[in-house]
Amino acid sequence: MTNNYELYKVFYWAAKTGSLTQAAKALYLTQPSVSHAIKQLEERIGVTLFYRNSKGVSLTQEGKILFSYIEQSQILITLAEEKMVALKNLDSGELRIGGSDSLFKHYLLPFLEDFHVKYPGIKLHLNHGTTPEVISYLKEGRIDLGVVRMPIFDSQLEVTESIELQDCFVAGERYAELKGQALSMEQLMEYPVILFSRNSRVRMAITELFEKYGHELKPDIEVGSVDLLIEFAKRGLGISYVTREFVAKELKEGSLFEIELDVEIPPSKVGLMVMRNMPISAAATRFIEVVH
Amino acid sequence: MTNNYELYKVFYWAAKTGSLTQAAKALYLTQPSVSHAIKQLEERIGVTLFYRNSKGVSLTQEGKILFSYIEQSQILITLAEEKMVALKNLDSGELRIGGSDSLFKHYLLPFLEDFHVKYPGIKLHLNHGTTPEVISYLKEGRIDLGVVRMPIFDSQLEVTESIELQDCFVAGERYAELKGQALSMEQLMEYPVILFSRNSRVRMAITELFEKYGHELKPDIEVGSVDLLIEFAKRGLGISYVTREFVAKELKEGSLFEIELDVEIPPSKVGLMVMRNMPISAAATRFIEVVH
DNA sequence: TGTTAGTCATAGATATGGTCTATATCTCCT
DNA sequence: AGGAGATATAGACCATATCTATGACTAACA
């Protein structure tokens, strides 16, 4: 049986209101249209569904049975449509973001707070991982949006640049002697260096910069979180390579100071990645606007 | 939002098969039709539902949410359609018959048995009552079919005549002296008469017959069931007025004998009543055919 | 690296059939 | 009897669902 489901909508309203005329009003149709639709439905399924009275219509035994199914079905469709409106209006839905812990904590946090206050119906899912992991999450469809350090070269991704961050070397009081100087790379490498683990974008960038000048930068200590980089530097275990904006507090209070180099370290940008040629959810679209 | 529900059917199949081409086959449409339908649905609800890949389509986050509702909805419609087919094929449904106990027992029983064996999916509901009760059950829609004695004069009812029954007076051995005679009404009224309760059609018929000849027939005993009529007569409590066909066994075995009158008692027919101008269920239609 | 075979998307022509207006029929109520 | 409701019917119309033909893209493979 290959019925036009539109007929069930008419049936539902006719049964619900007990009147073809009322159903027509509810559906913005004319009474003859409804009459015709009901007749057609009855013919197609081969069962009489309504008694036609002088004051309206009422369901036959079979009509009641049909209605018990169709009513549920129509309610579900109505709920579905309401849900879709909610999703579009950002009253509902979820936003899955991938990125590094440090970017979440030091960069995204205020945006996430604002967004959550403004759209409390949207569930936030934060998935941390390295840049390649975040990219693969994106490609697998496990996240809607990736937040990583630039540059990103991947033709499947659409990247929009966000703020610029400046990385730098910092140390604690133990190395106070280095304050105010501009060190050369060789000089710096005399000291114990603390770097983020190998697979990070920041680590790759500084390693490449040293290589460009013919040096191989090998850390004495390798850690897996920005917090540890900061903590180790503060305690005098060595010189940490960190993002300046992420240690703003420590620099201001003096527990860390910046060590200047005689070469310029290029700034790096934060990139917001989504899949190219893939539709983006309303929530993700709005969040990118907010961040940007 | 006033959507064409037909679009949800297309959406369902596209999501289910993960391919617009496959959905088109399932729906006996062409691929461009499906493509167009999906696009239209997306535009109307303002949400992108599918990722278009080179090997088919897959649901977006929002699409998955919509699908969770629509899937249930479509399943219900499918169940409804199957149920309607079952009703039409008499694999399912119910048949509600109103009538007197005696007609059920002595007249309808074999038909009911046959019908039940042939259509075991149809539930039978037997509602006993007097003729006016049965008629009001019909008008209230509580039964599909009424089985009563003719004649029935009610313009709202459509009556088809069934078999002819012959009522008669019977007595037991105690009144053996009356065997073989043809009594006059006066003679009969000398004996104790046992009649069915006042509101029955049979009682009215015999009362009217006596009135027509200027007699008032008043029973000495009035009972509420045909079984009691028979039992009382057998035990010699009086002369019962019963339907000959219902005491066939007793007449044959000799526990009762018929008392002939010198006037002819007109036979009465059984009528099958349904509401005029009201659709009749498939089950009721079939049952009437079987009985007739 | 071109070829092929599978996706889905688009454009434009077509015709189905849903919808309308006008009117009839019926029932109930005054 | 007449009016005010209800649904049913007939026929015209046009919106739009659907089709054909084609394009664009991707993946797999020779």
- Of B88, B107, B129, which residue is a domain's last? B88
Grade residue A177 by pLDDT with cuts at 50, 70 and 90. Answer: confident
Q: How far apart are CA B78 and CA B73, in angstroms?
A: 9
Grade residue A197 by pLDDT with cuts at 50, 70 and 90. Answer: confident
B136 within domain boundaries: yes
Q: Which of residues 56-75 of A touch strand D (CB under 7 A)?
A: 56-57
- Of B30, B64, B88, which residue is a domain's last? B88
Mean pLDDT of chain A: 89
Q: How high is the pLDDT of residue B2?
A: 56
- Residues from B contacting A (CB-CB < 8 Å) are 1-6, 8-9, 27-28, 45-48, 51, 58, 60-62, 65-66, 69-70, 72-74, 76-77, 79-81, 83-85, 87-88, 93-94, 141, 144, 278-279, 281-282
Q: Look up the CATH number of the domain holding residue B235.
A: 3.40.190.10
Q: Are residues A256 and A176 in the same domain?
A: yes
B125 within domain boundaries: yes
Q: Are residues A140 and A274 in the same domain?
A: yes
CA B14 to C1' C7, whole Å: 14
- Cβ of B142 near strand D (under 7 Å)? The reply is no
B161 within domain boundaries: no
Q: How high is the pLDDT of residue A163?
A: 87
Q: How high is the pLDDT of residue B70?
A: 94
Closest-CA distance of chain B to residue A112, Å: 20
pLDDT digits (tens, 9 = 90+) for B186-237: 899 989 999 998 878 888 889 999 999 999 998 999 998 888 999 999 999 9
Half-sphere exposure of residue B285: CA atoms within 13 angstroms, side-chain side: 11
Q: Which residue in A4, A45, A65 is closest to B6 by CB distance?
A: A4
CB contact under 8 A, A69 and B79: yes
* Residue A131, domain extent: 93-164+270-291
Q: Which of B41, B62, B140 is best to mutate for the A interface (most A CBs within 10 A)?
A: B62
Structural domains of chain A, count: 3
The contacts found for A182-190 with CB under 8 angstroms, 24 or more apart, are A182/A260, A182/A261, A182/A262, A183/A259, A183/A260, A183/A261, A183/A262, A184/A261, A184/A262, A185/A210, A185/A213, A185/A215, A185/A217, A185/A261, A185/A262, A185/A263, A186/A215, A188/A239, A188/A259, A188/A261, A189/A215, A189/A217
Q: Are residues A155 and A278 in the same domain?
A: yes
Averaged pLDDT for residues A143-165: 86
Q: How high is the pLDDT of residue A98?
A: 92
Give the angle subtended at the CA of A208 by the CAs of A204 and A209, to the nearest 5°.
120
B60 within domain boundaries: yes
Q: Are residues A172 and A195 in the same domain?
A: yes
CB contact under 8 A, A5 and B6: yes
Averaged pLDDT for residues A91-117: 89
Q: How high is the pLDDT of residue B226?
A: 87
Return the closest-CA partner of residue A126 out of A150, A143, A106.
A143
pLDDT digits (tens, 9 = 90+) for B6-17: 899 999 999 999
Averaged pLDDT for residues B262-281: 87
CB contact under 8 A, B66 and A83: yes
A256 within domain boundaries: yes
Q: How high is the pLDDT of residue A280?
A: 87
Q: Closest residue to D22 by CA to C1' distance?
A: B32
Q: Are residues B144 and B117 in the same domain?
A: yes
CB contact under 8 A, A1 and B81: yes
A124 within domain boundaries: yes
Residue owning tokens 């990722």: B51
Q: How far apart are CA A138 and CA A183, in angstroms?
A: 40
Grade residue A193 by pLDDT with cuts at 50, 70 and 90. Answer: very high
> A with B: how many residue pairs have Cβ under 8 Å apart?
118
Q: How far apart are CA B28 and CA B50, in angstroms?
A: 21
Q: How far apart are CA A9 and CA B73, in angstroms?
A: 12
Q: Please give the residue of chain A at the shortest CA–CA distance from B284.
A: A61
CB contact under 8 A, A60 and B4: no
- From chain B, pick out residues whose CB is under 8 angstroms from the CB of A156: none
Q: Are residues A119 and A75 in the same domain?
A: no
CA A140 to C1' D30, whole Å: 30
Q: SS3 letters for chain A?
A: CCCCCHHHHHHHHHHHHCCHHHHHHHHCCCHHHHHHHHHHHHHHHCCCCEEEECCEEEECHHHHHHHHHHHHHHHHHHHHHHHHHHHHCCCCEEEEEEECHHHHHHHHHHHHHHHHHHCCCEEEEEEECCHHHHHHHHHHCCCCEEEEECCCCCCCEEEEEEEEECEEEEECHHHHHHCCCEECHHHHHCCCEEEECCCCHHHHHHHHHHHHCCCCCCCCEEECCHHHHHHHHHCCCCEEEEEHHHHHHHHHHCCCEEEEECCCCCCEEEEEEEECCCCCCHHHHHHHHHHC
Grade residue B126 by pLDDT with cuts at 50, 70 and 90. Answer: very high
Q: How high is the pLDDT of residue A2?
A: 56
Helical (H) or strand (E) element with B107:
none
Q: Which residue in B4, B69, B77 is closest to A83 by CB distance?
A: B69
Q: Are residues A172 and A287 in the same domain?
A: no
Is a pLDDT exceeding 80 seen at residue B89? yes
Q: Look up the CATH number of the domain holding residue A37.
A: 1.10.10.10
Mean pLDDT of chain B: 90
Q: Closest residue to D21 by CA to C1' distance?
A: B32
CA A3 to C1' D7, whole Å: 24
Q: Are residues A253 and A279 in the same domain?
A: no
Q: Which residue in A9, A48, A65 is closest to B279 by CB distance?
A: A48
Q: How far apart are CA B182 and CA B179, in angstroms?
A: 9
Q: Are residues B173 and B261 in the same domain?
A: yes
Instruction: Give the bases of strand D that a protein CB approaches within 7 Å.
Output: 5-11, 17-22, 25-27
- From chain B, pick out residues whose CB is under 8 angstroms from the CB of A141: 51, 58
CB contact under 8 A, B8 and A47: no
Q: Closest residue to C19 by CA to C1' distance?
A: A33
Q: Closest residue to D9 by CA to C1' distance?
A: A32
Q: Which residue in A4, A73, A79 is closest to B76 by CB distance?
A: A73
pLDDT digits (tens, 9 = 90+) for A25-69: 999 999 999 999 999 999 999 999 999 988 899 999 899 999 999
- From chain A, pick out residues whose CB is under 8 angstroms from the CB of B139: none
Q: What is the DSSP letter of B284?
A: H
- From chain B, pick out residues whose CB is under 8 angstroms from the CB of A94: 61
Q: Are residues B51 and B13 in the same domain?
A: yes
Closest-CA distance of chain A to residue B65, Å: 8
Instruction: Give the bases of strand C that a protein CB approaches within 7 Å.
Output: 6-12, 18-23, 26-28
Q: Sign of torsion, CA A78 A83 A84 A89?
A: positive
- Of A36, A59, A88, which residue is a domain's last? A88
Return the closest-CA partner of residue B47 out of A120, A283, A276.
A283
Note whether A44 and B86 are within 8 A (CB). Answer: no
- Cβ of B244 near strand D (under 7 Å)? The reply is no
Q: Are residues A56 and A177 in the same domain?
A: no
Grade residue B50 by pLDDT with cuts at 50, 70 and 90. Answer: very high
Q: How far apart are CA A181 and CA A183, in angstroms?
A: 6
Q: Which of B1, B2, B3, B5 is best to mutate for the A interface (most A CBs within 10 A)?
A: B5
Q: Are residues B260 and B279 in the same domain?
A: no
A1 within domain boundaries: no
3-state secondary structure of B179: coil
